[in-house]
Amino acid sequence: MSKRIFFIGALFVIISACSNAAPKLVYNGDTLEWNNEFTKRQCGTLDIKKNIIEVSGIACSRVTPGYIWMQSDETDEDTNPFIIATTEKGAERACKVKFNKIYRWDWEDMSGGVYDGKNYLFIGAFGDNDETDGDYSIIYFEEPAIDPVNKPEVTVTASRIKYIYPDSAFHNAEALMYDNREQMIYIITKVYYNVCQVFRIPFRLDYGDEEQTLEYVCDLGVRSDLGESADDRPYKGFHLVTAADISPDGKYILIKNHNNIVATYCWILYWERQDGESVADAVKRQPQPLKCYNTYEWQGEAICWLDNSVFYTTSDSDKGNPPIFKYTRPYPEAVENVQAEKSSNHLVMIDKALYVSTKEGLYTIDGRRVQ
C-alpha cells in the first residue's frame, strides 16, 4: 500500500469518527463540558397497544413507589382523557385514572409534587403547535394510590389553573416541572430554531376560574448562539424543549429537548442548585449536558426523577413500542434507596426540608434515617 493511499484511508477513518462523535453544545456563548456522573440502560419497553399512545409526560409515583405515571398528548376532546401507571418495565398497566369533566387537546407534560403535606400530580395542558389557541391551563389533583388488583381503574376530580403569558401572546409549551422547595410550577416554551423561555407561577389551591398571568423567568441560552443561517440552526443553541423535572429534594434540575431532523443534536441539560438558590437563578447559570444521553429517542418528550440519583426517559413512537431508559449514579456511601425499597412512603415537608415518611420511620431524600 502506498503512503498516499494509507494517508487517504487514515483521513477517512478520522473524518468518520469525528462525524459520529457527540457534538458540542454552545450555550450563552460558551461550549459546555459534559457531565459523566450518570450511566444509562434500557429498563423496559412500553407496550403502547396495551397501555397508551404518544407518551409526552411521566412522573414517578410518590404514593405507591415502584410505579411511573404516564400521560398522552393524543386525546379526543369528546372523550374523557386518562393517564396510566406502569412499572419501569412498561409491560403491564397497573392503573388507569379517568377524570371528571376535564377535557383538553394536547397534554404535553406532567410532574409530581408535595403541597401542604399531600402529593399532587400536575399535567401541562398547554400544547399549541400553531400558536393560535390560547386556552392554556395546568391540571392538578391529589395522586391516587395504585392498587392493580382491587382498583385497576379510578376516577378523580381534578382542578385547573388557567393562565396567559405576560406578553399576552400565544406560545407552544411542552415542559413542566414543580419545585417542592418553592412550591412553584415552571413552564418552558418549545420553539423551533429559536430560544425557549422559562415562566413560573406559585402553586395554590384558590385560583378558581380566574385567568392568571405567568411570570417570565429567563431565556434558555441566547439568540446569538443559534447560527446565521437555517443550515446552522440545528447545530447551535438549545431549542425544541420537550420535558423537564426537578428532583424531589429540589437540588437537581433536568431540561431536555429533541430534534427529529438532526437526531444527534439532542441533549439533557443538568443543573445542581446551590444552597439558598431559586430555580429561576439556577437555570440562568451554565448547565452541563449529560454525556450518557447518547441514544436517539424519536419524539423524546418525557423525563422524571425517581430521587436525586435516578431518573427515567421515554418517548412517543409512531413506529413501535418505545423503550424506557433508566439513568443512575452512585448513591452516597451507606445510603439506601428509600423510595424504591420502603413500603407505603410519601414525601413530607418539615421546616422547608423534604423527607420520606414510611412505616419504618422518617428518612432524608438520600435515605438516611432521621427517626
Q: Is the pLDDT of residue 295 over 70?
A: no
27-48 average pLDDT score: 89
pLDDT of residue 142: 96
Cβ contacts of 259 within 8 Å, gap of 6 or more: 234, 239, 240, 265, 266
Q: Would you say how long the chain is, in residues?
A: 371
Q: Is the pLDDT of residue 76 over 90?
A: no
Cβ contacts of 320 within 8 Å, gap of 6 or more: none
180 or 10: which carries more pLDDT confidence? 180
Query: Phi, psi (5° rounding) for residue 48?
Result: -70, -20
Q: List, for residues 335-361, the tens digit of each pLDDT value.
A: 444 444 444 456 666 665 667 777 666
CA 180 – CA 348 distance, rounded (Å): 10
Lowest mean pLDDT among 5-19, 259-273, 275-289, 311-325: 5-19
Q: List, for residues 118-132, the tens digit of each pLDDT value.
A: 999 999 999 888 888
Local confidence band at 333 (pLDDT 50, 70, 90 cut-offs)? very low
250 or 50: which carries more pLDDT confidence? 250
Percent of the chain exceeding pLDDT 90 equals: 49
Domain 35-330 in this protein, CATH class = mainly beta
Q: Is the pLDDT of residue 85 over 80?
A: yes
pLDDT of residue 12: 33
Alpha helices in the chain (DSSP H): 3-20, 279-282, 338-341
Whole-number CA gyration radius for the chain: 21
Cβ contacts of 57 within 8 Å, gap of 6 or more: 70, 71, 73, 107, 108, 109, 110, 111, 123, 124, 176, 243, 301, 302
Average pLDDT, rounded, for the chain = 81
CA atoms within 13 A on the CB side of 87: 9
Residue 142: name the closest of 153, 154, 152 by CA. 154
End-to-end CA, the chain? 74
The pTM assigned to this predicted structure is: 0.85
Residue 362 in contact with residue 369, Cβ under 8 Å?
yes
Lowest mean pLDDT among 67-71, 240-244, 357-361: 357-361
A 10 A CB-CB count for 93 gives 18
Sorted by where each begins, the domain ranges of the chain are: 35-330, 336-371
CA 27 – CA 268 distance, rounded (Å): 13
Q: Is the pLDDT of residue 1 over 70?
A: no
